[in-house]
Amino acid sequence: MKSSVIIKGNKYGFQIVLNPTLPFEELLREVGDKFKKSTHFFDLKKPIAVSFTGRELTSGEQNLLVDTIAENSGLNISCVIDGAKVYETQFAKVLSELKEEEKKEEHKTEESFPENRLGKNGQFYRGTLRSGQKIEVDGSIVILGDINPGAQIIAGGNVVVLGCLKGTVHAGYPDDKSAFVAALMMEPMQIQIGSYIARSPDQRGKSTKKNVRRKNQQELLAKLAFVENDNIFIETITRSLISEISIS
């Protein structure tokens, strides 16, 4: 390859061709520089899809590449297509499904939304969930707001809270222990991942299936909860930690 990174774009997103032999750290810098210099060509308002070709990537490497692209370009990357053969068709299909879900949700009010079960695609919800409110999704969900005590999230995939998590969350419902929970402030009443349960300190007098082990007590830092060795761990989010977590 004459260039270490080649960006092929269309109206749905980008196919990024990567040098197969360049050390990954150098490749990461090349990707960042390439997208930073090309920012003025991008439409930053609409969600896009990306795919990577040219070399085998671990899930951790793929996540780092997505983070680097977003940080250097401001692009809204809604999904990653892995191993696409006809990537335009697959991009169109995925983004079409996302847009259909968005249209459906536009007709729902903030009050009624939590009581409805959502589709299988990853979901976004903007707003604070108050006590007694509940959201159920078949896949993963990102909450742009707080989860107050007494509120509940149940997700078949991962749960990401861009706010304070003080309520109850069940990721990987019913029994997927590979899921995770992330929050900017992690103060939950209870976290359940698959069949593993961890409760806050004032709840631990009650019976639990598995006890939580906190490796870092700095509560004001963004945290990630995950299952390892039959226990739920909560750690401060770092690039190295993200690279170790499998994103399903």
- The tens digit of pLDDT for each residue in 64-107 reads 898 898 888 888 777 777 654 444 445 555 556 666 666 665 55
- Are 69 and 48 a contacting pair, CB within 8 Å? no
Q: Is the pLDDT of residue 110 over 70?
A: no
pTM more than 0.85: no
Residues of the chain with CATH 2.160.20.70: 108-244
Q: What is the model's pLDDT at position 105?
A: 57
In 10 A of CB 213, how many CB atoms? 13
Mean pLDDT rounded to a whole number for the chain: 77
* Cβ-contact 61, 30 below 8 angstroms: no
**149/19 Cα distance (integer angstroms):** 48
| Cα distance between residue 206 and residue 196, in whole Å | 15
* The token pair that represents 150 in the structure block: 């007494």
- Report the CATH fold assignment for 5-102: Transcription Regulator spoIIAA (3.30.750)
What the block records as the tokens of 201 is: 């300190």
Query: What distance in Å separates the CA atoms of residue 55 and residue 204, rounded to the nearest whole number?
Result: 47
**Total count of residues recorded for the chain:** 248
pLDDT at 216 over 50: no
Banded model confidence at residue 213, pLDDT cuts 50, 70, 90: very low
Q: What percent of the chain has pLDDT over 90?
A: 29
Both tokens of 72, joined, read: 């250097």
Determine the CATH number of domain 108-244: 2.160.20.70
Provide the pairing of β-strand 13-18 with 5-9: antiparallel
